[in-house]
Amino acid sequence: MKPFLKWAGGKYKIIDKIKASLPTGNRLIEPFAGSGAVFLNTDYSNYLIADSNADLITIFQFVQKEGLDFIEYAKGLFIPENNQQEIFYLLREEFNTTKDLRRKAAIFIYMNRHCFNGLCRYNSKGGFNVPFGKYASPTFPEKEMINFHEKSKNVVFKVSDFSETMKEAVKGDVVYCDPPYVPLNLTSNFTSYTQDGFGMDEQFKLASLANELMEKGIPVIISNHDTDFTRNAYATAKIEAFDVQRFISSNASNRNKASELIAVFS
């Protein structure tokens, strides 16, 4: 089941590898929601899908609660007249200023399909700042949104920090984590590295929490780049390494394979 959002580092293309690493359980917890690819393609009885990005969770909640009504509303922005740079920046400005959460959610979906590479990025003031993508004919993901609505009936969507989300795990849960990835080439500046506020301290904290839950009998699975740093951080886990094709680079010649891993704490 394909997600309706384009997402950097989305897991749809490697979903079979992830599913093979996930044990059975009563509930799947995802502290990093992303596009929702993992919950969409698994069959747990219940789900807790969380993220610190309130815009993302709000969209999921509207699709879940309103279904076709919201889908038709969002579809209204996908007209040829709106596929131009001037209109894109007007809608982006509206997104950054409106208090109407339903309108904001619909614009997010429009921007996700019209902005450069479907990226989600904010400036220091919290404003969405990805530029216009110049696509010939962006498609509205109607079928994918309908599938999402139907799949989300047993899901709780929540705005939450990863550490708070993981503290909610109890015996019988399975936790899958897809954090912002560690850079492939670390430098002495890694202590100041941040991606959405997720730096070295957060990477270590995530690994520590995974160990704590494992000791309580709660399995945790983490995806990340395969580096010396992650190998060290996930030393107590079982590691599966593999290569994945990159798709986000603006330069097609740089879209090479990257080494990734799945760490299983169980």
- Which region among 175-179, 192-196, 243-247 has the lowest average model confidence (pLDDT)? 192-196
Q: Is the pLDDT of residue 114 over 60?
A: yes
In this structure, are strands 27-30 and 173-177 parallel, antiparallel, or unpaired? Answer: parallel
Q: What is the DSSP string of 65-101?
A: HHTHHHHHHHHTT-SGGGSSHHHHHHHHHHHHH---H
Q: Is the pTM of this model over 0.85?
A: yes
Residue among 173, 177, 163 nearest 216 (CA): 173
How far apart CA 33 and CA 159 sit, in angstroms, is 10
Cα 136 to Cα 13, 59, 186: the distances in Å are 24, 25, 37
How far apart CA 77 and CA 266 sit, in angstroms, is 46
Show Cβ contacts of residue 249 under 8 Å, excluding neighbours closer than 6 positions. 255
Per the prediction, the chain carries an average pLDDT of: 92
Q: What is the pLDDT of residue 186?
A: 63
Q: What is the pLDDT of residue 197?
A: 75
Residue 247 near residue 255, CB atoms below 8 Å? yes
Q: Is the pLDDT of residue 257 over 80?
A: no
Model confidence band, residue 193 (pLDDT cutoffs 50, 70, 90): very low
Cα 138 to Cα 67, 80, 205, 236: the distances in Å are 21, 9, 39, 44
pLDDT of 27-67, one tens digit each?
999 999 999 999 999 999 999 999 999 999 999 999 999 99
How far apart CA 34 and CA 11 sit, in angstroms, is 9
Q: Which CATH number fits domain 12-52+160-265: 3.30.1490.20, 3.40.718.10, 3.40.50.150, 1.10.645.10?
A: 3.40.50.150
- In the chain, where are the structural domains located? 12-52+160-265, 68-144
For 68-144, CATH gives 1.10.1020.10
Dig out the tokens for 200 from the structure: 């070295």
Residue 38 near residue 178, CB atoms below 8 Å? yes
Does 12-52+160-265 match 68-144 in CATH topology? no
pLDDT of 199-250, one tens digit each?
889 999 999 999 999 999 999 999 999 999 999 999 999 999 998 876 544 4
Q: Is the pLDDT of residue 184 over 70?
A: yes
Residue 157 near residue 57, CB atoms below 8 Å? yes
